[in-house]
Amino acid sequence: MSDFSNIHVLPSDLQNQIAAGEVVERPSSVIKELIENSLDAKATEVHIEIDGGGQNRILVQDNGHGLEPDDLPKALTRHATSKIARIEDLNQLSSFGFRGEALPSIASVSRLTMGSIVPNQTEGFQVSLEFGKIVDQGPVPLRQGTYVTVRDLFRNTPARLKFLKKTATESKRCLDIVYKMGLAHLDCAFTLISNEKNTVSFPKDQSLEERLQHMWPGQITDKLRPVSSSNKDFHLSGVIGSPETAQGRADRIFFYVNTRPVQDKLLLAALRQAYSGSLLSREYPQAVLLLDIPPREADINVHPAKAEIRFRNEKDIFSFVHQGVKATLSSYQSSLSPLPAHEHFQSGNTERQNPRHTFQTFENISQPYLKETRAKSYSTPDNPSPLSETKGDNLQKEKISIQSSSKISSDSQNNISGLIYLGQVSYCYLLLKDQRQDLLLLDQHAAHERILYHLFKTTGEDGSQQLLALPMELYLHPAEQNRLEQITTFLRRLGFSFDFDQKSLMSVKAIPSALTWQQAKDFLKAALAEQISSMDDLWTLMACRQAIKAGQSLARDEALNLIETWIKTPERDYCPHGRPVSIRMTTSDLEKMFKRQS
């Protein structure tokens, strides 16, 4: 039986270490707290240095208003804050900090030195601690602001040390947090030096787009659109990415509430719902959204690292953000390539309201992509065609043959393998009747997607390669360079051969046989932008792009030909994204609907 009689208050160093477990999980959380303190002190320049992923040393130095010498030891050793005095102050809060626990927590698990000077003083004051105990203090020459050095983080708490990842991973997290804070504070300059290498330099008063250009590939930043909307209480600003550059991971979505970075399911849902119809279910857009609301509208005191918040008025916030994003999306919707109806924005889908103007024959429908591919491949001298007759060409020929075989099926009237074609409805669904008198509805886009996917997959994945007459050169953004290192083996296995001696230039000497020059280039770009990470993803993407769209009228021959090919295709009941291709209604289903069955 355990003995509870010996209840005692924990010594303050132990209290601080326990608090540290919640506030400081890793070097990047230390950096976050220290940057927040600098911003709270109205700094316009924050300089950060890390060694060994932040485990060996972190320095955060600012030009803010500083601390009085007397306040320094207080701020470092006990829950002390200058930011609130009463609990009601939380409703008015405009600072990041308020609990007064960050500095003592960090100090309790490291060797920390903090120096600071207030304006109009000639000398600063400095305090040094070792694992929570003051070991030294005294004057220090300093011109402006505050610096904090944190060495040997978690050296006295081996259990926490074990949770840290490789130095490179921790460094990346530190970089990410500086980026994240930098995006919401454009009026502050940020520099980060990691292992003596200059990794971030954001000058003061850059635009959001300028900062993002350092973080994301040009392919994405070129297509960003500003978001701006306001009502009486709320203001939303920032940028969002084009649906065309959507990616498989949600790692380029940043939300801020009153400039505080937050992870919030409600905001994510509002964002994704605004894109609904223009993204596939597993895709995420890019977004940096800054929401400004009266402090009383949000409770920020629900998470130790303040990464989560609770809105008082969830419904209002949701619809405000949703509308704001939607307004931006619809402003450039016209410049987007048409998407299948079920993947379309709900409003303003002119294509569907006026489908006739996009009338194309089946042959034409699948051709533009090929023509465009060809035109691009041969038009400029830096776009050489592959050396030999390639499998890519075969692939295209096969695709064309889907179309020419229509002659045969059109002769056999409306009957294909026991299915009678009845017609097209809503410029999207093909109506069929089978031998059992069941009614079959076929989604024309999904069916064509499945056909193309199968074709690409069966002809494209043998790892054989074709040499290029001239190397294909791709200039790489720093984020893409990192990504390339991660996926090098994967790309080589697919049949790509390339060098990247100079890190910013990728020189491709051979590409997989199954791809045309342009397809290979598109693939590499998408893979480097983390939009796709396997050949399967590529086939799915290509199939989706090249398949006939909803909203396109199909002539009878074209429809019959599509159906005929679809019947021969394996796994034909679902498209590569997993949506149903066909829906069957039996006589009994119909009878139920008409209430003929008792």
Shortest Cβ 50–ligand ADP spacing (Å): 17
Pick 182 or 495: Cβ nearer Mg ion? 182
Burial of 90 (0-12, 13-18, 19+ CB in 10 A): middle
CB atoms within 10 A of CB 374: 15
State both tokens at 260. Answer: 């505080």
How far apart (Å, rounded) are the C-alpha atoms in residues 107 and 15? Answer: 12
Shortest Cβ 147–Mg ion spacing (Å): 15
Per-position x/- string for 8-47, each x denoting binding to ligand ADP as judged by CB under 6 A, each - no binding: -------------------------x---xx--x------
Binding status of residue 110 toward ligand ADP by CB under 6 A: no
Binding status of residue 82 toward ligand ADP by CB under 6 A: yes
How far apart (Å, rounded) are the C-alpha atoms in residues 380 and 145? Answer: 56
The tokens 């720093």 sit on which residue?
478
Among 175, 174, 126, residue whose Cα is nearest residue 146? 126
**DSSP state string for 562-580:** HHHHHHTSTTTTB-TTS-B
Q: Which residue among 62, 343, 530, 558 contacts ligand ADP (CB under 6 A)?
A: 62
Shortest Cβ 301–ligand ADP spacing (Å): 11
Pick 190 or 453: Cβ nearer ligand ADP? 190
Residue 66: which of ligand ADP, Mg ion, none does it interact with, CB under 5 to 8 A by kind?
ligand ADP
What does each C-alpha distance from 50 to 57, 67, 561 come to in angstroms? Answer: 6, 24, 63
Residues that bind Mg ion (CB under 5 A): 37, 97, 102
Task: Go through the chain and tell me how many residues it has.
Answer: 598
Shortest Cβ 103–Mg ion spacing (Å): 7
Binding status of residue 66 toward ligand ADP by CB under 6 A: yes
Shortest Cβ 142–Mg ion spacing (Å): 20
Binding status of residue 69 toward ligand ADP by CB under 6 A: no
Pick 67 or 290: Cβ nearer ligand ADP? 67
User: Are the C-beta atoms of residues 486 and 527 closer than 8 Å to each other?
Assistant: no
What does each C-alpha distance from 478 to 218, 260, 475, 535 come to in angstroms? Answer: 11, 27, 10, 24
Pick 124 or 460: Cβ nearer ligand ADP? 124
Shortest Cβ 179–ligand ADP spacing (Å): 20
Shortest Cβ 79–ligand ADP spacing (Å): 8
How far apart (Å, rounded) are the C-alpha atoms in residues 462 and 539? Answer: 14
Q: Which residue among 20, 103, 117, 506 contacts ligand ADP (CB under 6 A)?
A: 103
Buried b (16+ CB within 10 A) or exposed e, 233-251: ebebbbbbbbbebbbeeee
Among 101-109, 294-302, 424-432, 582-590, the segment contacting ligand ADP (CB under 6 A): 101-109
Among 77-85, 447-455, 492-500, 506-514, the segment contacting ligand ADP (CB under 6 A): 77-85
Residue nearest to Mg ion (CB): 97
Binding status of residue 376 toward ligand ADP by CB under 6 A: no
Q: Which residue among 25, 57, 98, 235 contacts ligand ADP (CB under 6 A)?
A: 98
- Is beta strand 253-257 parallel, antiparallel or unpaired with respect to 287-292? parallel
Strand segments, DSSP code E, in 235-356 are 235-240, 253-257, 260-262, 287-292, 298-299, 310-311
Binding status of residue 552 toward ligand ADP by CB under 6 A: no
Q: Give just the sign of the alpha carbon dihedral 15, 131, 100, 58.
A: negative
152 alpha carbon, distance to own chain's centre: 33
Size of the site for ligand ADP (CB under 6 A): 21
Shortest Cβ 97–Mg ion spacing (Å): 3
Shortest Cβ 509–ligand ADP spacing (Å): 52
Binding status of residue 544 toward ligand ADP by CB under 6 A: no
Count how many Cα atoms sit within 13 Å of the Cα of residue 402 in the half-sphere of its side chain: 29
Pick 97 or 285: Cβ nearer Mg ion? 97
What does each C-alpha distance from 511 to 206, 466, 507 come to in angstroms? Answer: 40, 6, 11
Helix (H, G, I), strand (E, B) or coil at 534: coil
Shortest Cβ 219–Mg ion spacing (Å): 37
Residue 64: which of ligand ADP, Mg ion, none does it interact with, CB under 5 to 8 A by kind?
ligand ADP
Sequence-distant (6+) residues with CB within 8 A of 492 are none
Residue 200: which of ligand ADP, Mg ion, none does it interact with, CB under 5 to 8 A by kind?
none
User: Are the C-beta atoms of residues 76 and 69 closer than 8 Å to each other?
Assistant: no
Shortest Cβ 100–ligand ADP spacing (Å): 4
Among 39, 20, 70, residue whose Cα is nearest residue 146? 39
Pick 41 or 220: Cβ nearer ligand ADP? 41
Residue 99: which of Mg ion, ligand ADP, none does it interact with, CB under 5 to 8 A by kind?
ligand ADP
Binding status of residue 500 toward ligand ADP by CB under 6 A: no
Q: At what angle do helices 167-184 and 208-215 cross, to 10 degrees?
A: 170
Residue 479: which of ligand ADP, Mg ion, none does it interact with, CB under 5 to 8 A by kind?
none
Beta bridge partners of 147: 61, 115
Binding status of residue 551 toward ligand ADP by CB under 6 A: no
Burial of 447 (0-12, 13-18, 19+ CB in 10 A): buried
Q: Which residue among 27, 53, 54, 64 contacts ligand ADP (CB under 6 A)?
A: 64
Pick 34 or 511: Cβ nearer ligand ADP? 34
Among 64-72, 424-432, 447-455, 486-494, the segment contacting ligand ADP (CB under 6 A): 64-72
318 alpha carbon, distance to own chain's centre: 20
Residue 81: which of Mg ion, ligand ADP, none does it interact with, CB under 5 to 8 A by kind?
ligand ADP
Shortest Cβ 96–Mg ion spacing (Å): 6
CB atoms within 10 A of CB 582: 19
Helix spans in 240-361 (H): 265-275, 314-331, 350-353
- Among positions 118-157, residues that touch ligand ADP (CB under 6 A) are 146
Binding site for ligand ADP (CB under 6 A): 33, 37-38, 41, 62, 64, 66-67, 75, 80-83, 97-103, 146
